[in-house]
A and B are shown apart, each in its own frame.
Chain A
Amino acid sequence: MSQLRRPHWPAALLVVGLLLILAPLQERIHSARPRLFDPEQRVRRASAITIGPTAGVIAALGGFRTVAADLLWLRVERAWHGGNWWAIIPLLDAVVELDPHFLLAWKVYGWHCAYNLHVEAQTLVDKRYWLQRGLQVLERGVEANPGRWDLYFELGWTYYDRAHDAYRAAEWFRRADEFPDAPAYVTRLVYRPFERILDFDRLFPAIEYARAKHLDDHHHQRIVNRDLEWWTTRQDDPQEHRRQIVIENTRRHQRAIPFHMYPDNPYWDVCPRCGMPSAKDAQTCANCGYERPPEGWPDVPLIR
Chain B
Amino acid sequence: MTRRTRVTTTDLTAQGVTAAKGRAHVVRTEGLTKVYRSLLSPAGVRAVDNLNLAVREGETYSIVGPNGSGKTTTLKILLGLIFPTSGSATIFGKTIADLGVRERIGFLPEDAYLYDCFSGEELLDFYAGLFGYSKAKRRQLTDELLELVGMQENRRVPFRECSKGMRQRLALAQALVNDPELLILDEPTSGLDPAGRHQMTLLIQELKRRGKTILLCSHFLAEVEEVCDRVGIMYRGKIVAEGALSELAGEPTEIVIEARGLPETAAEQIAALPGVLGVDGELVRMGHAEEGRLWSVLERVHQAGGRIVEVRRPRPSLQDVFVRAIREEPR
Interface residues of A (CB under 8 A from B): 1, 3-6
B85 pairs with A4, CB closer than 8 A: no
Residue of B86, B88, B89, B97 touching A5 (CB-CB under 8 A) = B97
Top 7 nearest A-B pairs (CB, nearest first) are: A4-B97, A1-B84, A1-B85, A1-B86, A4-B83, A1-B83, A4-B96
CA distance A1 to B96 in the complex (A): 11
A3 pairs with B95, CB closer than 8 A: yes
Interface residues of B (CB under 8 A from A): 80, 83-86, 88-89, 95-97
Residues of A within 8 A of B89 (CB): 4
| A and B contact pairs by CB, cutoff 8 A, 17 listed | A1-B83, A1-B84, A1-B85, A1-B86, A3-B88, A3-B95, A3-B97, A4-B80, A4-B83, A4-B84, A4-B89, A4-B95, A4-B96, A4-B97, A5-B83, A5-B97, A6-B97
Main secondary structure of the interface of A (DSSP, over half): loop
CA distance A192 to B89 in the complex (A): 94
CA distance A106 to B80 in the complex (A): 65
CA distance A5 to B97 in the complex (A): 7
Residue from the set A1, A3, A5, A6 with the largest chain B CB neighbour count within 10 Å: A1
User: Who on chain A is nearest to B85 by CB?
Assistant: A1
User: Who on chain A is nearest to B87 by CB?
Assistant: A1
Residues of B within 8 A of A3 (CB): 88, 95, 97
User: Who on chain A is nearest to B89 by CB?
Assistant: A4
Q: A1-B84, A1-B86 are in contact. List 15 more A-B contacts (CB 8 A).
A: A1-B83, A1-B85, A3-B88, A3-B95, A3-B97, A4-B80, A4-B83, A4-B84, A4-B89, A4-B95, A4-B96, A4-B97, A5-B83, A5-B97, A6-B97
Residues of A within 8 A of B85 (CB): 1
Q: Smallest distance from the beta carbon of A176 to chain B beta carbons, Å?
A: 62
CA distance A5 to B99 in the complex (A): 12
Q: Smallest distance from the beta carbon of B57 to chain A beta carbons, Å?
A: 23
CA distance A6 to B80 in the complex (A): 12
Residues of B within 8 A of A1 (CB): 83-86
CA distance A3 to B98 in the complex (A): 11
User: Who on chain B is nearest to A4 by CB?
Assistant: B97
Q: Smallest distance from the beta carbon of A107 to chain B beta carbons, Å?
A: 55
Residues of B within 8 A of A6 (CB): 97
User: Who on chain B is nearest to A6 by CB?
Assistant: B97
Q: Smallest distance from the beta carbon of B75 to chain A beta carbons, Å?
A: 15
Residue from the set A1, A4, A5 with the largest chain B CB neighbour count within 10 Å: A4
Q: Smallest distance from the beta carbon of A5 to chain B beta carbons, Å?
A: 6
Residues of B within 8 A of A4 (CB): 80, 83-84, 89, 95-97
Q: Smallest distance from the beta carbon of A19 to chain B beta carbons, Å?
A: 28
Residues of B within 8 A of A5 (CB): 83, 97
Residues of A within 8 A of B80 (CB): 4
CA distance A4 to B96 in the complex (A): 7
Residues of A within 8 A of B84 (CB): 1, 4
CA distance A1 to B95 in the complex (A): 11
Residues of A within 8 A of B97 (CB): 3-6
Q: Smallest distance from the beta carbon of A7 to chain B beta carbons, Å?
A: 11
CA distance A3 to B83 in the complex (A): 10
CA distance A6 to B95 in the complex (A): 12
